[in-house]
Amino acid sequence: MNFIDKLNAAWRSNDSLLCVGLDPDIERFPAHLRDHPEGIAEFCKAIIDATADLACSFKPQIAYFAALGAEDQLQTVCDYLKQRYPHIPLILDAKRGDIGATARQYAREAFDRYGADAVTVNPYMGFDSVEPYMAWADRGVIVLCRTSNAGGSDLQFLDVGGRPLYQHVAQLVAEKWNRNGQCALVVGATFPEELAQVRAIVGDMPLLVPGIGAQGGDIAATVRSGRTVNGAGMMINSSRAILYAQPQGDEDFAAAARRVAMETRDAINQHRA
């Protein structure tokens, strides 16, 4: 099954547009996992088990693993996801961007080494820096368009022929780059008006939408701006708000994560119709 089909099936089977982000920060781990040799993988596996029936995708952020030289634990997490939850898409958030020959190695890393269903890429170097990922026709290529951070406006809002640059990116990907129907775009939940603009340009193309939860994006505005006519079309990511949900009483970290993931999934679903 290719990425888009798998995503459609996960939206339906879990009745969810929630993407659970895996950004493991050992400083915020429960004490028993901080010094554990496989603590990062154990933490992520517990979060995955606690939220797999509530999520349409999981998104490990490679920087949190690579910064600690913990690529082996990223591998463990990806293998675990694929073995236990093969129906949930695995998105590797790597935001790669480089010349074609190097891009091919990044694509091998994402798709062959980690077995990701999709990877995030940076379009700044143009089509020949993105095309190598498309050789894996059954995988998703998720292109940065209008990112959730304030500084994204420095370049993405530049006026290019009467329209902001991010709208050109949306149109370019939808009309030219998406030859195999495998592309998606990153658009931040912190900018619902721009999210609506992108949706109008790209039709039903899936959007990866970070920025709710810790970044404060408004769930109602996000869903109303980005949903497709059938009330889907988005992987709305939340990482820290779920991973480090404040325990209440005796609640452990995974139970707290499940509680917040369920609240978030339900809040999203309220606005899909």
Ligand X SMILES: O=c1ccn([C@@H]2O[C@H](COP(=O)(O)O)[C@@H](O)[C@H]2O)c(=O)[nH]1
Q: Which residues form the interface with ligand X (CB under 6 A)?
A: 21, 23, 61, 93, 147-148, 186, 188, 210, 213-215, 237-240
Question: Least distance in Å: CB of 250 to ligand X?
Answer: 25
- 82 has catalytic annotation: no
Q: Which residue has the tokens 């915020």?
A: 28
Q: Closest CB to ligand X among 104 and 168? A: 168
Q: Closest CB to ligand X among 165 and 186? A: 186
Contact (Cβ atoms closer than 8 angstroms) between residue 223 and residue 210: no
Q: Closest CB to ligand X among 39 and 213? A: 213
Residues 6 or more apart from 244 whose CB is under 8 A from it? 25, 28, 253
**Helix, strand, coil shares, percent, the chain, to 5:** 50, 15, 30
| Helix runs in the chain, H state only | 3-13, 31-34, 39-51, 62-66, 71-84, 100-107, 127-130, 153-156, 165-172, 192-202, 219-226, 240-243, 253-269
Question: Least distance in Å: CB of 42 to ligand X?
Answer: 20
Question: Least distance in Å: CB of 117 to ligand X?
Answer: 17
Distance set, CA 183 to CA 94, 130, 186, 192, 256 (Å): 15, 10, 10, 21, 34
Angle (CA) 209-215-217 rounded to 5° is 60
Q: Closest CB to ligand X among 45 and 59? A: 59
Question: Least distance in Å: CB of 264 to ligand X?
Answer: 10
Question: Which residue in 45, 59, 95, 176 is the catalytic one?
Answer: 95
Mapping DSSP to helix (H, G, I), strand (E, B) and coil, where does residue 145 land? strand
Contact (Cβ atoms closer than 8 angstroms) between residue 40 and residue 25: no
Question: Least distance in Å: CB of 148 to ligand X?
Answer: 4
Q: Closest CB to ligand X among 57 and 148? A: 148
For the chain, the first-to-last Cα distance in angstroms comes to 27
Q: Known catalytic residues?
A: 95
